């Protein structure tokens, strides 16, 4: 048995279904070993796309998505998607080839020290330099990637080690029924006393709530405390938007109305909150509001995040224990009721708007109407992300995915492929601006080859609109943000994707309904008017 064959057996033992990647000279031994495996290798058109696919697959399944690249440029291309998964806390295993041990001591074709390169963007990484350690490395990689908080792991496999013969070797079995710790009883008692004394508490729900499947526990806590709740971009759907205490999403920064709610509170309960999502300096700038930190790990030290008490461990368990201890309140404060009404009115203010090019609020409103409660919308990064965050309301968790940690442009199309493979029975829609779309548009071919019925909505305005808005706010003029696009309908057809163009605002909704029924890859080209970007901060 070769080392590469043992490596594949270890991946099978971990339940790997797919590996996303691009073949290269230094990983051909590994690819040959996969020929005898039930693991499906999905050839992608770029390594960055492969890592994005693996990251979204990992996020939605809780199992590490696996991606593969060769050494040198293949590995550096993979790096952006690995960094994205790590900062968004999605479990991912990145495997790269590497030059043989006989040429790593000198300058050599395509050789760079990948372990050093991947170190800042992973939880752990290593190089396999002994053929006997493969089972230990793979088991540690999966354990590290999935342990709280999840993230990315990188394994380097040099080509000469990969081809070595082994007399024996077998995978290491994962332990069964691993449980997370819970907070101590004195800590829970102290937090309950703090909350019982508080006049106007507010809850900020983050990525950890959806990742930990803690929505039921959070809902029970919210209803007993009768406090308003807001979620970060990556915490959308933590509880249903229809709940009367839900103030929707926080994170728009400039004059965010939800920040007004925090200004009125006397204590903040941060549940599953990651600072990469929305820095505390934007919503608690002077650090005057004390924080109750409820998460799987201790809080990052930040002057604007003054932790009064922490409940560290399993989020659901700690929330249920805390809910038992706190006193039942009668109702939410009138100020927060009025603010929620204001936000709900804003959601529906442009439902009948028929301007063309379309306004982003109308596009998001129509998307919400045509998509089901369990359908998945994946947002790329750009101006539309801000509108989706505020106006696309969710009933259930993990139905609106916004990368707001690393926040790399180009995530939507490959991310949708990973999402559809993870959740094949749910509709998946990718929404991208024209700037972000062209960065990974080549993965349309992957989508067609896999026959995945994904709808890609491209919002076109020939500019990097979010940067333009910031330039205008800062300098009252913009620079270097415009570009020209190809004919996206013709581009879609060239890849074998159905292309539909929106020519009037009233066409968008029926076009989306039609696209979702087609059962094949569809691209919808929709011109958008981003003048509204300057209103979002009013």
In this structure, are residues 151 and 122 in contact, taking their beta carbons and an 8 Å threshold? yes
| Whether pLDDT at 92 is above 90 | yes
> Does 316 share its domain with 372?
no
pLDDT for the residue 297: 94
**String of b and e for 411-437 (b: at least 16 CB within 10 Å)?**
bbbbbbbbbbbbbeebbbbbbbbbbbb
d(CA 92, CA 62): 10
Domain closes at, from 162, 195, 224: 162
> Does 33 share its domain with 106?
yes
| Whether pLDDT at 507 is above 90 | yes
| Whether pLDDT at 538 is above 60 | no
pLDDT for the residue 257: 80
pLDDT for the residue 259: 87
d(CA 538, CA 532): 10
Q: For the chain, first and last CA: distance in Å?
A: 65
| Whether pLDDT at 536 is above 70 | no
Average pLDDT over residues 174-184: 86
pLDDT band at 439 (very low <50, low <70, confident <90, very high): very high
Judged by DSSP in three states, 363 sits in: helix
pLDDT band at 533 (very low <50, low <70, confident <90, very high): low
| Whether pLDDT at 254 is above 80 | no
pLDDT band at 506 (very low <50, low <70, confident <90, very high): very high
> Does 293 share its domain with 376?
no
pLDDT band at 452 (very low <50, low <70, confident <90, very high): very high
> Does 326 share its domain with 358?
no
Between β-strands 92-98 and 124-127, what pairing exists: parallel, antiparallel or unpaired?
A: unpaired
d(CA 31, CA 22): 10
| Whether pLDDT at 396 is above 60 | yes
pLDDT for the residue 426: 97
Average pLDDT over residues 7-32: 95
Domain closes at, from 307, 339, 371: 339
Q: Is 177 inside any structural domain? A: no
Average pLDDT over residues 403-407: 89
> Does 320 share its domain with 403?
no
pLDDT for the residue 167: 83
In tens, the pLDDT along 188-231 reads 999 999 999 999 999 999 999 999 999 999 999 999 999 999 99
Listed in order, strand segments (DSSP E) in 254-329 are 267-271, 291-295, 307-312
Q: Is 287 inside any structural domain? A: yes
Phi first, then psi: what are they for 132, rounded to 5°? -90, -5
In tens, the pLDDT along 125-177 reads 999 999 999 999 999 999 999 999 999 999 999 988 888 998 888 999 998 87
Domain closes at, from 339, 357, 385: 339
> Does 215 share its domain with 298?
yes
pLDDT for the residue 520: 97
pLDDT for the residue 253: 64
Average pLDDT over residues 411-430: 98
The proportion of the chain whose per-residue pLDDT surpasses 70, expressed as a percent, equals: 98
pLDDT band at 21 (very low <50, low <70, confident <90, very high): very high
Average pLDDT over residues 47-63: 98
pLDDT band at 535 (very low <50, low <70, confident <90, very high): low
pLDDT for the residue 353: 84
> Does 312 share its domain with 422?
no
In tens, the pLDDT along 372-388 reads 999 999 999 998 998 99
Q: Is 498 inside any structural domain? A: yes
The pTM for the full model equals: 0.95
Judged by DSSP in three states, 42 sits in: strand
> Does 502 share its domain with 354?
yes
User: Residue 298 gets which letter from DSSP?
Assistant: P
In tens, the pLDDT along 518-529 reads 999 999 999 999
Q: Is 274 inside any structural domain? A: yes
> Does 402 share its domain with 509?
yes
> Does 250 share its domain with 114?
no
Q: Is 471 inside any structural domain? A: yes
| Whether pLDDT at 77 is above 80 | yes
Q: Which residue bears the tokens 């750009």?
A: 382
Average pLDDT over residues 450-462: 97
pLDDT for the residue 15: 97
| Whether pLDDT at 484 is above 70 | yes
| Domain region containing 114 | 3-162
Between β-strands 65-69 and 18-21, what pairing exists: parallel, antiparallel or unpaired?
A: parallel
In tens, the pLDDT along 321-374 reads 999 999 999 999 898 999 999 888 888 877 788 899 999 999 999 999 999 999
Averaged pLDDT of the chain: 93
What's the structural domain count of the chain? 3
pLDDT for the residue 8: 97
CATH of the domain at 77: 3.40.50.970
d(CA 356, CA 354): 6
pLDDT band at 88 (very low <50, low <70, confident <90, very high): very high
Q: Is 408 inside any structural domain? A: yes
Q: Is 258 inside any structural domain? A: yes
CATH of the domain at 284: 3.40.50.1220
> Does 141 share its domain with 217?
no
pLDDT band at 534 (very low <50, low <70, confident <90, very high): low
Q: Is 167 inside any structural domain? A: no
> Does 369 share its domain with 315?
no
């Amino acid at each position: 048995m070769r080392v590469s064959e043992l490596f594949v057996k270890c991946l099978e033992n971990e339940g790997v279904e797919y590996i996303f990647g691009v073949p290269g000279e230094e990983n051909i031994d590994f690819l040959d070993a996969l020929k005898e495996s039930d693991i499906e290798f999905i050839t992608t058109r770029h390594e960055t796309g492969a890592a994005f696919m693996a990251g979204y697959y990992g996020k939605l399944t809780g199992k590490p998505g696996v991606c593969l690249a060769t050494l040198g440029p293949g590995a550096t291309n993979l790096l952006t998607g690995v960094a994205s998964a790590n900062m968004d806390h999605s479990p991912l295993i990145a495997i790269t080839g590497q030059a043989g041990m006989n040429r790593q001591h000198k300058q050599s074709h395509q050789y760079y020290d990948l372990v050093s390169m991947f170190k800042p963007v992973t939880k752990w990484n290593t190089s396999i330099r002994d053929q006997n350690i493969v089972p230990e490395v793979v088991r540690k990689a999966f354990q590290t990637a999935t342990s709280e908080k999840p993230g990315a792991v990188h394994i380097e496999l040099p080509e000469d080690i990969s081809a070595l013969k082994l007399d024996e070797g077998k995978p290491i079995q994962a332990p069964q029924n691993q449980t997370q710790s819970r907070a101590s009883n004195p800590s829970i008692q102290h937090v309950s006393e703090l909350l019982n004394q508080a006049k106007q508490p507010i809850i900020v729900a983050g990525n950890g709530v959806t990742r930990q499947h803690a929505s039921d526990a959070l809902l029970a806590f919210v209803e007993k405390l009768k406090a308003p709740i807001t979620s970060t971009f990556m915490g959308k759907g933590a509880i249903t938007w229809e709940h009367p205490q839900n103030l929707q999403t926080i994170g728009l920064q400039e004059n965010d109305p939800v920040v007004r709610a925090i200004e009125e509170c006397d204590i903040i309960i941060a549940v599953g909150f990651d600072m990469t999502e929305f820095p505390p300096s934007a919503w608690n700038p002077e650090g005057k509001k004390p924080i109750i930190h409820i998460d799987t790990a201790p809080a990052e030290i930040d002057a604007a995040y003054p932790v009064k008490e922490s409940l560290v461990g399993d989020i659901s368990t700690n929330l249920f224990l805390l809910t038992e201890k706190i006193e039942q309140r009668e109702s939410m404060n009138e100020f927060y009721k009025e603010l929620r009404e204001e936000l709900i009115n804003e959601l529906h203010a442009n439902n009948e708007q028929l301007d063309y090019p379309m306004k982003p609020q109308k596009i998001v409103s129509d998307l919400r109407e045509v998509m089901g409660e369990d359908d998945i919308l994946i947002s790329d990064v750009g101006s539309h992300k801000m509108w989706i965050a505020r106006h696309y309301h969710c009933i259930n968790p993990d139905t609106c995915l916004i990368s707001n940690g690393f926040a790399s442009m180009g995530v939507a199309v490959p991310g949708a492929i990973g999402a559809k493979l993870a959740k094949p029975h749910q509709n998946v829609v990718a929404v991208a601006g024209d700037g972000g779309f062209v960065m990974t548009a080549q993965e349309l071919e992957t989508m067609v080859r896999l026959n995945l019925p994904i709808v890609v909505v491209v919002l076109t305005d020939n500019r990097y609109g979010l940067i333009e808005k910031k330039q205008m706010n800062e300098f009252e003029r913009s620079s270097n943000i415009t570009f020209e696009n190809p004919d996206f309908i013709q581009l879609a057809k060239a890849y074998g994707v159905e292309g539909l163009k929106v020519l009037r605002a009233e066409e968008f909704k029926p076009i989306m309904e039609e696209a979702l029924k087609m059962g094949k890859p569809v691209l919808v080209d929709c011109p958008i008017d981003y003048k509204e970007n300057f209103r979002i901060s009013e």
